[in-house]
Structure 1
């Protein structure tokens, strides 16, 4: 970490910068229709973010398999069905497995679904004794009883405040969640997770233009979608990918790359997620690459302290989700994630949504705190800190219902 770094939290100190136009190609061709967006502009932006930011996936799987490990038709006091599904992916005679925890409402018909990662194990999202505890490495978190990088019974249900599961079920939505550490442990070692399946002999790190951890987490969300779209109790046309913080970055990239996701929710995703990099407000590209050198492709480091050289910014990542619904959310006390930069990204992605006749964020003036704008592109900033709250989920559920019902 650079000990000399002092984050800018003063809006008056944000230097003027040139923001790339999402509707102008790198060769200065103006995009006037949704067709030309899809044929010309979208592919070159995908290529930029893939090769320079998140990194390319170096190949395709040899096999994927699904196995139901546990299920119940009377979970949550009879309110929901629970299913725990092991996904095993194989490449180069090596394999990795992760567990999807699903809760689905008990009703006739297929349920829409929120799909996203959790930070400390499936067993933390609700106090349900039947949820299997992962054996994967974990970041320590003494506040919920995680020490020695081991997940234990002590932390069961202690992150339930971040998952309004009962509200989802009562509104007719299901939840699918995965412990992200089963995909790639969140540490600077790219030999102990998903990446190692794709390595050539003797390789210990991805090539400069290949995926870091965020790219791996995003890619595995699509493998979860491979299962979900074949689950007869899930409406595969209404699966919304969700993520908070670093996992919000992964959700945005997954949603940009995989158009099977019907919508995307970014909760406090900040630098490298929804926030405009060129503002250099709060966390910067150099800081995120120095503190987490394994999250992005090695190529992304060329923009350390050089955001002005970025030919694309994060509003164009958001625009890659068009015309599908997108929700960007911020927290008032989370200045590190640059709430205004997150809001402006949604605003500046709006012209692309307009090409498709979809409503976005027309004004560049931020809404008041706890005053959501809920169009196809939605935004809110709520009171409080960097977190996921019941208030956030109330807005997401309301918005999803308006967008998809």
Structure 2
């Protein structure tokens, strides 16, 4: 799948480009042991050499008779790059695999779904999940568990994803946990930074020491263990994003920073976890790929979670989108302790049928950017089945497909999604996977996928069975489908939800002053109030309901507080009710205030920077933080949470109090600001401007070396991640790099001219930002053959 930069760490690696149409030697020579500067392309081609596979010599794309009709180069100046069609859908790129297969979207007479003219889909023999390879039909659950499932799992391992090494050579993991707290009110949480130190005694020389890193959050007000969702990928504000989305539905969250265990590239296959177990050697064709290595990391995290008293380890979910959606469904197949999965828009080698040429194809993953996800054996299923005949492809002879992978998850519930414009991931192909996997569920007594339609309705949630599916109106993301997933999960597990619409209320001092709030729950619950002067209209209820609180008159000279507690099995929520006094005074002060006319506070840029101010009052008050409108994002998926970066020790109260302000790290180099408003009934509000200092500049690029063949051409784009503006310069005229400047998340396109000289040549492009050492990307080009 395409890069999802916000969810994946960027590693500085050597990145080789595979140019479509370039000549490949029939036999390449590789060192017996991988060098320290091994590259993704070197590793990929070494695996092809082990398998005896030679990439075909392809014609220029403009001369290729197999090019899809009505398509053309997206950039007329670069016909060897990606192509497009009249729709120019960015989520439907048209490329040609290194084995010559073109992505197909041309047969769309029925709109989103292929019509009867879909000749380029291919016509492949269906794989019957309930029929053994010897032809015998299985009819009982016992036959599934003892015969057919082991047969399918063996093929999944041997033909596509690889085997986890024997237990005796796998490393031990030692855990270290650092606990902190965060959030406020009913959103307060306990956070645990989990670090799994991996024993490297099997191969101490491993170039990069692997590590398991995760951030676990559990609700501070839970009174019994809660279920948890493990999220593939992400760091920093990703924990806020997932927490805000899933904690109200009764879940804890655990964000797995997986690239510290095994990076998302082929250059790392002889290092990190896979390289450690292989003692630095090349992979063999049946060895595990990155997806299975990540699944091993999930299994080890589950080992830890089973020891954590705050977690209900009987209900552990797993989620990922795009390549992490592939990782989700693979991990569920390999790890039976995962109780439920949400594989988001996962495409080929994930949740869409591979024996179907629409959108992303298995052969797209044969280039140097994606092959590392699978075992080397998956290359065997790329290319023409009959030499010289475009279709069918060798995938015809592969004994398993996406529905086989999903069937290995049975009878556990799995939810999948697609997007109406995410044609690359093939939303209809994902729907077909759900349909075709259902026999495995039914033989185990579950319904599988339930739908009365032969094609899915956009924005309709199919969640009546044990396989759930939804295609949203939009692109390559899972975000719009989370409400459907939570409803789907609630049908299969007894997960307590209890959410109050407010954390605090402010009432006037007068007799009979009142206010209401709502409770959302799936349980019976009770209401407890700790003050005689405050009455609630209900002492108990069930499901979702409204509670009204009414106060008697406050005749004193200061504000007063009561606590309303709502309790149910395993959860509680509290609402602080503050009542004003007849004698209202409100002010704020701090020795740190600056500004002649406005009250201003300055906090540092680092995580956890703090400042404080005093509220001087004789009444009830509440505090609100507002932020300037966020700039629109251009990415397909934002994971920045709500954007709130200030937390306060109290959001409401009475009388005098000191409030502590804590800021999260400023990810940008510019200062940022927010406004704190302190207010009470009957008096003008008071404002405090909080300014946070700018953070240090950052610059990450996903490659430090590009290698071209002598023919030259365009490289796959370099991805740049920074928090400021970068500038680009090339060292030589034969190297063209664009754009000259950019910021935040961007791409650099590098093109080199044909090398007509007699030797290799080397140049570079330099990326600079103010305040940092320049990043230099080395550009190497091979000499022409025979020179």
Same fold, TM exceeding 0.5?
Answer: yes
Pick aligned residue for 2:254 from 176, 193, 205: 176
Q: CA RMSD for the aligned pairs?
A: 1.7
**What displacement does 1:199 show?**
1.4
1:314-354 Cα shifts (integer Å, max 9, x gaps): 10100000001111111111111111111101111111111
**What is the aligned counterpart of 1:302 among 380, 394, 405?**
380
Equivalent of 2:236, from 116, 119, 123? 123
Alignment match, 2:404 = 316
Give the structure 2 partner of residue 341 of structure 1: 429
Deviation >6 Å, runs of 4+: none
Match of 1:378 among 436, 460, 468: 468
Tell me what 1:227 maps to: 304
1:199-220 per-residue CA deviation (whole Å, 9 max, x = no partner) reads 13x51x2110011111211221
Question: Are the structure 2 counterparts of residues 30 and 337 from structure 1 closer, same or farther at C-alpha, using a change threshold of 3 Å?
Answer: same
- Asked if structure 2 preserves the Cα contact closer than 8 Å seen for 1:269 and 1:337, the reply is yes
Q: State the distance in 1 between where 2:439 and 2:417 align.
A: 19
Structure 2 residue 345 is matched with structure 1 residue 268: yes
Structure 2 SS opposite 1:185: coil
Q: Contact 1:270 / 1:337 at 8 angstroms: preserved in 2? A: yes
1:96 counterpart (202, 205, 210): 210
Partner of 2:192: 83
User: How many Å separate the matches in 2 of 1:340 and 1:51?
Assistant: 27
Pick one of 287, 305, 308 that aligns with 2:364.
287
Q: Give the secondary structure class of the aligned counterpart of 1:266.
A: strand
Q: Deviations over 1:342-376 (max 9, x none)?
A: 11011111111111221222446132111011121
Native 8 Å contact 1:245 1:269 kept in 2: yes
Q: Could you tell me how far apart the structure 1 residues matched to 2:344 and 2:215 are?
A: 21
SS in 2 for 1:360: coil
Which deviates more, 3-12 or 174-183? 3-12
* 1-structure distance, mates of 2:295, 2:356: 25
Q: Contact (CA 8 Å) 1:185, 1:192: kept in 2 or not?
A: no
Preserved CA contact (<8 Å) 1:19 1:313: no
- Report Cα offsets for 1:274-319 as digits up to 9, x if no partner: 1100012111111112241211111000001321111111101000
Structure 1 match to 2:223:
108
Q: Is this contact kept in 2: 1:59–1:198, CA < 8 A?
A: no
TM-superposition CA deviations, 1:58-108 (whole Å, max 9, x none):
232242111103x22343665222111101222515452221111112211
Specify which structure has the bigger relative contact order, considering alpha-carbon pairs within 8 angstroms and separated by 6 or more residues: 1
**What residue is the counterpart of 1:358 in the other structure?**
446
Deviations 1:146-204 (A, max 9, x none): xxxxxxxxxxxxxx3xx3x223111210111112211211122113321111013x51x
Structure 1 counterpart of 2:40: none
Q: Are the counterparts in 2 of residues 116 and 221 from structure 1 also a CA contact under 8 Å?
A: no
Label 1:76 to 1:182 Cα distance change in 2 as closer, same or farther (>3 A). farther
Q: 2:407, 2:441 within 8 Å by CA — same for their partners in 1?
A: yes
SS in 2 for 1:237: strand
Q: Residue in 1 aligned with 2:318?
A: 241
Measure, in 2, the Cα distance between the counterparts of 1:279 and 1:39.
Answer: 30
- Kept after mapping to 1: 8 A contact 2:203/2:277: no
Q: Secondary structure at the match of 1:276?
A: coil
**Paired position in structure 1 for 2:146:** 39
Query: Following the alignment from structure 1 to structure 2, what is the Cα–Cα distance between the partners of residues 265 and 27?
Result: 33
Q: Greater CA deviation, 182-191 or 89-98?
A: 89-98
SS in 2 for 1:352: helix
Alignment coverage as a number of residue pairs: 364
Q: 1:76 to 1:278 in 2, by over 3 A?
A: farther
Note if contact 2:417-2:478 (Cα within 8 Å) is conserved in structure 1. no
Partners of 1:113 and 1:209 in 2: how far apart? 33
Q: CA deviation at 1:241?
A: 1.4
Separation of aligned partners in 2, 1:265 and 1:360: 15
Distance between the aligned counterparts of 1:116 and 1:27, measured in 2?
A: 39
Contact 2:176 2:196 in 1 (8 A): yes
SS of the aligned residue for 1:123 comes to coil
Question: How far apart, CA to CA, are the structure 1 residues paired with 2:152 and 2:192?
Answer: 37
- In 2, distance between residues paired with 1:124 and 1:169? 15
Q: Is the 8 A contact 2:431 2:456 kept in 1?
A: no
Judging by fraction of residues, say which structure has more helix: 1
Alignment partner of 1:404: what SS? coil
1:7-86 equivalences under 5 Å are 7-9=103-105, 10=107, 11=114, 12-13=118-119, 14-60=121-167, 61-69=170-178, 71-75=179-183, 78-86=187-195
What SS does structure 2 have at the residue aligned with 1:48? Answer: helix
Greater CA deviation, 86-95 or 292-301? Answer: 86-95
List gaps (5 residues or longer) in structure 2.
1-17, 22-60, 62-95, 97-101, 108-113, 384-393, 495-787
Unaligned 5+ runs, structure 1: 128-159
Aligned to 1:255: 332
Change (3 A) 1:21 1:76: farther
Query: Following TM superposition, by how much is the alpha carbon of 1:16 offset from its aligned partner in structure 2, in angstroms?
Result: 2.2
Contact kept, 8 Å, 1:243 with 1:249, in 2: the verdict is: yes
